[in-house]
Amino acid sequence: MPMSGLDSILIVGCGNMGGAMLRGWLAAGVDPGRFTVVDPYLAAVPDGVALLRTLPEAVTQDAVLLGVKPQGFADLAASLAPRLAARPLMLSILAGIGLDSLVEALPGARGWVRIMPNLAAALGKSPLALVAQGLTEDDRAAVAALLAPLGTPEWLDGEHLFDLATALVGSGPAYVYRFIDALAAGGAALGFAPDQAERLALAMVEGAAELARHSPHSPGELARMVASPGGTTEAGLRVLDADQALAVLVEATLRAARDRGAELGGLAGTNRG
């Protein structure tokens, strides 16, 4: 599968998230020979992917994906910066490391991109929030094409929205899992066997999400379509909608996660200084 100009990728740090992205690319048919992983701890990589234990003397790849822990960024950047021989695009999934910090620490790149994916990238089902600095239109198209096999790339209007994207895209799966767990627990409390309640809840959420993805109707409209007047669905929705309880709870949840992300970003900046 062509990658629109980004034909070679150096992945520096291939933990949970970097590994999920790599698995997603390979599952989509991207040639494993396009990837080189630098990781001193990783036991093995998929067949065809090159594995290095330390950075190469010269980085000649078209793009570098930074996947180390944020607290390791300063040391990594100091080592990586003088090795950028080919002015690659710098792609970062590091929480709390802003574009200004990337530009300052790695000035030899030709453009810098922050990416917020989640682990569903391994299945090609992740939203991927993007902000960038220094990219041409061709670069933006190349980044979007590179990430498309992992899910749905979405360019944000500015970096001020990145903490909110982290709350929704990055933390959001945990909230969905908690809701699935609550549905299963409710079903078990009302009579299902716990394992059966969980299977039914998982299958229902999977089908509902897939239908919402492909439907021309909004999720809100789909909910109204399911709810016949005076029927069972409407009775349940009245509980969720009372005093906008669900909407208020979810907004408060996202706000708390967003604000904590901003706090952690500030701490990362303090630690770097």
Return per-residue pLDDT of the chain as tens, 273 residues: 444 579 999 999 999 999 999 999 999 999 999 999 999 999 999 999 999 999 999 999 999 999 999 999 999 999 999 999 889 999 999 988 999 999 999 999 999 999 999 999 999 999 999 999 999 999 999 999 999 999 999 999 999 999 999 999 999 999 999 999 999 999 999 999 999 999 999 999 999 999 999 999 999 999 999 999 999 999 999 999 999 999 999 999 999 999 998 888 777 655 544
Match 């990783």 to its residue by tokens: 42
Amino acid at 133: Q
Give the three-state DSSP class for 29: coil
Number of domains in the chain: 2
Angle at 77 between CA 74 and CA 82, to 5 degrees: 145
Same-domain check for residues 118 and 145: yes
Same-domain check for residues 181 and 108: no
Does the residue 4 lie in any domain? no
pLDDT at 141: 96
Interatomic CA distance for residues 107 and 180, integer angstroms: 45
Q: Which among 165, 179, 131 is positioned nearest to 258, based on CA atoms?
A: 165
pLDDT at 47: 97
pLDDT at 5: 79
Same-domain check for residues 121 and 192: no
**What is the domain extent for residue 34?**
9-158
Q: Which among 32, 89, 85, 24 is positioned nearest to 57, based on CA atoms?
A: 85
Amino acid at 253: T
Same-domain check for residues 201 and 128: no
Give the three-state DSSP class for 56: coil
Does the residue 226 lie in any domain? yes
Same-domain check for residues 44 and 176: no
Same-domain check for residues 115 and 55: yes
Interatomic CA distance for residues 266 and 69, integer angstroms: 16
Does the residue 86 lie in any domain? yes
pTM of the model: 0.90
pLDDT at 72: 93
Give the three-state DSSP class for 204: helix
Beta carbons of 173 and 120 less than 8 angstroms apart: yes
Does the residue 53 lie in any domain? yes
Same-domain check for residues 149 and 197: no
Same-domain check for residues 187 and 53: no
Tell me the residue length of the chain.
273
Q: Which among 116, 119, 109 is positioned nearest to 83, based on CA atoms?
A: 109
Does the residue 154 lie in any domain? yes
Digit-coded pLDDT (tens) for 38-58:
999 999 999 999 999 999 999
pLDDT at 261: 87
pLDDT at 268: 66
Same-domain check for residues 44 and 120: yes
Does the residue 55 lie in any domain? yes
Strand runs labelled E in the chain: 9-12, 35-38, 50-52, 63-66, 89-92, 111-116, 126-133, 151-155
pLDDT at 269: 59
